[in-house]
Structure 1
């Protein structure tokens, strides 16, 4: 994969600029974060939208849910397009969003029957996915207004988002204080750093729920995108999409993405796991496990535009969701209807239902400790 910097230099050369001049232009295209009023909630709370740009990447983020409303990157010809699904108005996010672009918590993914036991005490969570709790419950962090501040630091620009979840919010124990930092680097990478502390033992699993279509939002199916995931095992699920506790080999299954293949290559096989998810909606146990620094775990490429996305993370898991429940009832930012398979999610995380699966990496956070994870999204063409 060529880097996005090389694409800018190539485009500049075509316009008669030298490679050195193009490199300088790329290094100085930073745009400091700008805030504007996006809308108001029913109770009058203001929601702002922040716009920033660096290294050829353009990002728009809402204070509501920390939502990435749009993320624009250039194709092989230097033409920008939004590659993240979303809505044009706040009202649409409030009414019907399937977590488009949102910050997810207190627990990303599912917890079976919305229950877990910690230090001998049972907790009942908000249930919002059949009998299960999904993405933190009925009013998870995706439906909260975050405090947001813009920053510039050396060659980087970004946003710092703060939210404090009360003890007992959605059934979770502990007052959880969070700081999430979105950074656009000089090279156009989008880095997400999560940090949280608690005053009582609790469980935490934060992630980002961007829906990717590298051909462009509203352009149609992503089944021809090429995907590679550095994982030899995944976590099979039951009919409610709760992990069974098994770590199963991907070899010989539709879940084998160790070598790049198209998203749609095996998605219609008669496989019980695909029937449960109406496609792919599963967690991969990354071969690298938990790491101190972000390590490469996934690569996505759209052949038509040449755009690429590479993901590195400190997390042990990756949820790959193939947009199975997009059903043609939602209209996106570009005015197009979203249908099944029109985007995919690659959510770095700990495993679903970990509080009920002792063999999975722990998601327990205790007072005095700090939850920290990092995920880096690198773009090219």
Structure 2
């Protein structure tokens, strides 16, 4: 087993950690945003990177500080930039008109986390304390993000948290994939299968309507393998609304709820999760300095977005001294 390599990653605060297994797979991480950087797969004698990445912390700050990062305490949008926590109204930073996106400004994705290397487990543990009241969120909240690379080519991600006050907590990882390794190429030809019979529709404001719609007869039906491009042709009213996918699917309780196969069929991605939803975003806003439109996709494991303000979406309340545990993984067959 190769040792975990540690290198600088831009500014003096940023470190890059590279995990390698005996099969030649490599995963690089940075303490800047507890972020997944590269996922390198040995294919045809070369290393294929299937994760959208920048070269330094500065480049992420300049181009897109969400890519690959840990988004905490709450991923997605919170309507009204406020919620009720045990009967008390709590207001958050409004960084989009009338709402809070990804927990407000300069949150976990732009922080330098403490790092602990566990070579015997091929694992890195990042730790951060979100201060009480930061962007309005009650706390203080201790957060840990753990990344582990196994001999089965599985990247395991675990989020743990504990708060000193009642708060809300619903994090995710914002990794973007292109299994072809060509980030100038659309992901439309990727074949995807999702064990989900329902998805959450969005309104004109991109917020969930609070309803569960069947996937039958829609672009959201991936119960059998289908091309990701079926959500990019603008024929379905929901995909036309956001120029692709930016929606949560309601995952069934099964071992492998999501599978994706690269266009050349040389890479298969298996996703596992203990979370109720996966948000799939097909980078509908490109081109940007990071990627072109529809050239990457996300698999964001989390609770239902805006659950704190939608009664039938389940609870994302994290009570004082309660422990939060989210785990999910991306396994690669190649």
- TM-score interval (norm. to shorter): over 0.9
Q: What is the distance in 2 between the residues matched to 1:272 and 1:257?
A: 17
CA offsets 1:36-65 (integer angstroms, 9 cap, x no match):
22122xxxx611111111143211111110
Aligned residue for 1:37, secondary structure, equals strand
Answer with 1 or 2: which has the greater Rg.
1
| Aligned with 1:343 (options 291, 296, 309) | 296
Q: What is the distance in 2 between the residues matched to 1:130 and 1:273?
A: 22
Q: What is the distance in 2 between the residues matched to 1:270 and 1:129?
A: 28
Equivalent positions of 1:1-381 (< 5 A) are 30-40=1-11, 46-54=13-21, 55-75=23-43, 77-97=44-64, 99-153=66-120, 156-288=121-253, 295-304=255-264, 306-327=266-287, 329-331=288-290, 338-381=291-334
Q: What is the distance in 2 between the residues matched to 1:234 and 1:78?
A: 40
1:187, CA displacement in angstroms?
A: 1.5
Q: What is the distance in 1 between the residues matched to 2:129 and 2:298?
A: 26
Q: What is the distance in 1 between the residues matched to 2:182 and 2:316?
A: 33
Q: Provide the TM-score with structure 2 as the length reference.
A: 0.95
**CA RMSD, 1 decimal:** 1.5
Aligned residue for 2:10, secondary structure, equals strand
Q: What is the distance in 1 between the residues matched to 2:53 and 2:205?
A: 26
With over 3 angstroms needed to count, the CA separation of the structure-2 counterparts of 1:91 and 1:172, relative to structure 1, is: same
CA offsets 1:9-43 (integer angstroms, 9 cap, x no match):
xxxxxxxxxxxxxxxxxxxxx32212122122xxx
1:24 aligns with: none
Q: What is the distance in 2 between the residues matched to 1:275 and 1:58?
A: 37
Q: What is the distance in 2 between the residues matched to 1:99 and 1:217?
A: 20
1:89, CA displacement in angstroms?
A: 2.8
**8 Å Cα contact 1:184-1:190 kept in structure 2:** yes
**8 Å Cα contact 2:186-2:295 kept in structure 1:** yes
**8 Å Cα contact 2:163-2:318 kept in structure 1:** yes
1:78, CA displacement in angstroms?
A: 5.0
1:369, CA displacement in angstroms?
A: 1.4
CA offsets 1:166-211 (integer angstroms, 9 cap, x no match):
1111111111101111000112210011110011110101111110
Unaligned runs of 5+ in 1: 1-29, 289-293, 332-337
Q: Provide the TM-score with structure 1 as the length reference.
A: 0.84
Q: What is the distance in 2 between the residues matched to 1:215 and 1:128?
A: 34
Q: What is the distance in 2 between the residues matched to 1:298 and 1:78?
A: 28
1:22 aligns with: none
1:98, CA displacement in angstroms?
A: 5.5
1:3 aligns with: none
Aligned residue for 2:177, secondary structure, equals coil
Aligned residue for 2:127, secondary structure, equals strand
**8 Å Cα contact 2:125-2:145 kept in structure 1:** yes
